[in-house]
Amino acid sequence: ISLKNLGMSYGARDLFNGVSLQLNEGVRYGITGANGSGKSTLLKLIAGRDTATEGKVDIQKGTRIAYLEQNLPVGENETAIEIVIGGDAVLAKALKERDSADLDPMHAGEIEEIIRSHDGYRAESESARLLSGLGLPDEIHKIPAKKLSGGQMMRVLLARALFAKGEVLLLDEPTNHLDMPGIKWLENFLLFEFTGMLLLITHDRGFLSALSEQILDVDYKTITLFNMNYNRFVGARTLAAEQKEREAEAAKKKIAELTEFIDRFKAKASKARQAQSRVKQVEKIEIPDIIASSRRTPSFFFRYEREPGRDILNVHDVAMGFGDLKLFAGAEFLLRRGDKAAIIGPNGHGKTTLLIIIAGELKPLAGTVHFGHEVKLGYYAQVHEELRKLSEPMHEHLHQLHAQKAVKDVRTALGHMLF
């Protein structure tokens, strides 16, 4: 894949411009950059889902590109297995024609040859393997996909992209709906089974570190190739930015020194030639353009209004389930001041439910949840749809929740979170 003078803008906003890069067969590229810098746009341009403002993307003829769709129209009774097999459009078409009542006997042999060459007789078992690896159990492989949850459907679309067996695989946040075993399975698949070119966007630093061989960094309104993995890139990126700043400072300092000499001696006949020589030197000095990075870092801190006691949270013999579905029983733990605990487990086993119980928004079937003296709770939920329906500005909504705070404090808090 060749990017030739590639540029992309939305109105007056430039994402990147003048990008010329060669992307090579079989290399695993990690794509990094701030939110909104143009990472997903780059994948869409390569996948042909968007058109560049300037320049072009040249792709070697015959190259198959597999792209992780974020949305896909689904037939009324189309199953997960059928959606996955649809990732190989040629095979899916041949299988449909083979099973059609209108199949022309003259073309039957040709259809069978397409199915054989695409390993079509293993297509269903291979699709099932991909779906199971990504955490979707056998019992939902053949039910209508419209009955699947949003998270389950995203895993089906990921399996579809993997099944496509493209020479190029474009993955935009593939781990978002995977649990830890699913992430590890995908990592191993991409390391040991997939042999094509990978372009990967992910906020999972461990996943990116394990897979990246080279980095495409979308920043400073351009895309820079770093021939190294993510761990080495983090240090190299900082050094490169510092080096450019040092070069700019050195150039400015040199110009200032030469200009001072010119101003002092340009009127003296004995020094006129030297002054003129320095004028020419100033004209030749180029100060590197320092374009501001698109990366911004939120800043926040926690300050107790009153110091809590030693025991913070005591969960005792808590059980939870819904109907015949038993999630957990006998949950028992004590967290003390300063503790940090992670809740892990497969999808659908009650991690979020446990948090909702602790937050007091759901009553358990049995057991108790008790907070210690002076403990205040902050709860960040998985879904915030109710917030999206609010009509008032953000700062007004927050001020309603924290009426005791000054408006400037609320605005400062929003600013810390990059609003």
Please report which helix (H) or strand (E) contains residue 214, including its range.
strand 214-219
Q: Which are the contacts of 309, defined by CB distance < 8 A and separation ≥ 6?
A: 337, 372, 373, 374, 375
CA 215 distance to own-chain centroid: 14
Q: Angle 419-383-208 (CA atoms, 0-180°, nearest 5)?
A: 70
Q: Name the average pLDDT for the chain.
A: 90
141 neighbors 80 (Cβ within 8 angstroms): yes
pLDDT at 290 over 70: no
Give just the sign of the alpha carbon dihedral 308, 311, 315, 317: negative
Report the pLDDT averaged over residues 110-130.
92
Take residue 279 and report the two structure tokens written for it.
């004028």
pLDDT in tens, 166-210: 999 999 999 988 988 999 999 999 999 999 999 999 999 999 999
* Residue-level pLDDT at 84: 96
The tally of CA atoms less than 13 A away on the side-chain side of residue 168 is 20
Which has more confidence, 364 or 106?
364
pLDDT at 226 over 70: yes
Bridge partner residues of 218 (DSSP):
33, 223
pTM: 0.78
Residue 29: name the closest of 60, 4, 1 by CA: 1
C-alpha to C-alpha distances, 228 to 27, 193, 212, nearest whole angstrom: 11, 22, 8
369 neighbors 357 (Cβ within 8 angstroms): yes
Each as own residue / partner, the long-range contacts of residues 108-112 (CB below 8 Å, 24 or more positions apart, any chain) are none
Give just the sign of the alpha carbon dihedral 397, 403, 407, 413: negative
pLDDT tier, 261 (very low <50, low <70, confident <90, very high otherwise): confident
pLDDT in tens, 62-82: 999 999 988 888 888 899 999
pLDDT in tens, 29-52: 999 999 889 999 999 999 999 999
pLDDT in tens, 401-410: 888 989 999 9
| Percent above pLDDT 90 for the chain | 58
Q: Is 71 helix (H, G, I), strand (E, B) or coil?
A: coil
43 neighbors 31 (Cβ within 8 angstroms): yes
Report the pLDDT averaged over residues 289-301.
77
Residue 66: name the closest of 86, 42, 37, 40 by CA: 86
pLDDT at 318 over 90: yes
